[in-house]
Amino acid sequence: MSDLAAARPDRLVSIRDVFGIDSGLAAPAFAERDDHVPEIDTAYRFNPEVTLAILAGFTRNRRVMVQGMHGTGKSTHVEQVAARLNWPCIRVNLDGHIGRLELVGKDAIVLKDGLQVTEFQEGIVPWALQRPVALVFDEYDAGRPDVMFVIQRILERDGKFTLLDQNRVISPHPCFRLFATANTVGLGNLSGLYHGTQALNHAQIDRWNIVATLNYLAPAEEAAIVLARVPGKDNEHGRRLIDAMVALANLTRKGFAVGDLSNLMSPRTVITWAENCEIFRDPALAFRLSFLNKCDDAERPIVAEYYQRCFGAELEESWLRPATPE
């Protein structure tokens, strides 16, 4: 795309053909890729319900929030939908260091004609608002209060954005889209797992048109993703190993749900474990370095029991392992 601001979707793609979802709907897409379009990950597996929610954001200009536990691929889900539509996509992580000035813009000293002059430089929000860009606010529930009120202005579908420093009102581009991902639904750190998350203003949560929940995948699908990421394990022994890894991960998730554990294995952790197995050639050592050492000391025997159930081997942290004589 030579001029991003002037670009418009110029074709329709079949949701059934592109995403493998049983639907007769079509989605607008760009024929040409731009530098801001994410790369296509062929190993990514789409959740049908969440995919349809995200596609509603692209096709009907709905404000979509994707909520779920860590490591489920929330932000990647939005990016991969955008990648297959050739839709420019910008991802902004709302950590504690991102403030109003970074989003809106600020005065900066620049060099013009050999002279230093003060010039207003737009932040990411006004820049994206004027272009056919999907703006994704990652870790939305960790944003600072001043940032939340900046975002609130553009949550309305046709909401105009006022640059007070410039006495200018920006109307959104017809193809501007807004998404967010969050670990909580604005309720704060109730589980104790997500330190730094904020309790969000209900009036702001109410402005999100669609809130989709992305849960962990079925074991067979999760194992397929791990194998796609670590093709060296795509053999009979490797597939049995990956199945045991996924089974152990599901035990940690159940243990977390009932309060036995304060941590759990996400699909990201399982992939890391499989990758580390390729490095160390020892599933037990790779497991300790990938996940076990992140657990509380008091909980490690529980995790070691999960490992014994799935792999039939004892870890040093196991209750059943005889004590070493001093």
268 and 184 in one domain? no
Q: Are residues 75 and 114 in the same domain?
A: yes
pLDDT at 190: 47
Nearest to 243, CA basis, from 255, 252, 234: 234
Classify residue 319: in a domain, yes or no.
Answer: no
- Only one residue has tokens 């670009």, namely 7
Over residues 118-136, the pLDDT tens digits come to 877 888 999 999 999 999 9
Do residues 160 and 305 share a domain?
A: no
Residue 9's pLDDT is what?
95
125 located within any domain: yes
Q: Is there a domain that residue 271 lies in?
A: yes
Residues 87 and 129 placed together within one structural domain of the fold: yes
Task: Output the pTM of the full model.
Answer: 0.84
Residue 326: inside a domain, yes or no?
A: no
Q: What is the pLDDT of residues 214-225, one digit of tens each?
A: 988 899 999 998
Averaged pLDDT, 32-58: 93
| CB within 8 Å of 320: residues ≥ 6 apart | 305, 308, 314
Give the tens place of pLDDT for each residue, 147-174: 888 888 888 767 788 887 777 888 999 9
Whether residues 204 and 78 fall in one domain: yes
Same domain, 75 and 102: yes
Give the SS3 label for residue 133. coil
The amino acid at residue 27 is A
Going by pLDDT thresholds of 50, 70 and 90, the confidence category of residue 5 is confident
- At 68-99, the pLDDT tens digits run 887 788 999 999 999 999 999 999 998 767 88
Q: How confident is the model at residue 198, as a pLDDT?
A: 63
Residue 196 lies in a domain: yes
Provide the percentage of residues in the chain whose pLDDT is more than 90.
Answer: 56
* 276 and 252 co-located in one domain: yes
Do 82 and 171 belong together in one domain? Answer: yes
Per-residue pLDDT band at 193 (split at 50, 70, 90): low
Query: Is 326's pLDDT higher than 90?
Result: no
Q: Has residue 230 got a pLDDT over 80?
A: yes
Q: CATH no. for residue 193?
A: 3.40.50.300
Q: Which of 193, 213, 233 is the last residue of a domain?
A: 213
Higher pLDDT, 265 or 257: 265
Number of compact structural domains in the chain = 2
Strand arrangement of the beta sheet that strand 64-67 belongs to: 89-93, 134-138, 177-182, 64-67, 210-213
What is the per-residue pLDDT across 280-311, written as a single tens digit (0 to 9) for each? 999 999 999 999 999 999 999 999 999 999 99
Where in the sequence is the domain holding 263, given as residue range(s)? 219-311
Last residue of a domain, one of 175, 191, 213: 213
Contact 121, 55 (CB under 8 A): no
Say whether both 286 and 156 belong to one domain.
no
Query: Which has the higher per-residue pLDDT, 50 or 190?
Result: 50
Residue 141 shares a structural domain with residue 167: yes
Q: Residue 323: inside a domain, yes or no?
A: no
Say which residue, 272 or 202, is predicted with more confidence: 272
* pLDDT value for 256: 87
* CA–CA distance, 273 with 290 (Å, rounded to integer): 5
Residue 277 shares a structural domain with residue 223: yes
178 and 265 part of one domain: no
pLDDT of residue 77: 95
User: Domain end: 213, 240, 255, which one?
Assistant: 213
**What is the per-residue pLDDT for 195?**
47
pLDDT of residue 324 exceeding 80, the answer is: no
Mean pLDDT, residues 173-196 taken together: 72
**Has residue 279 been placed in a domain?**
yes
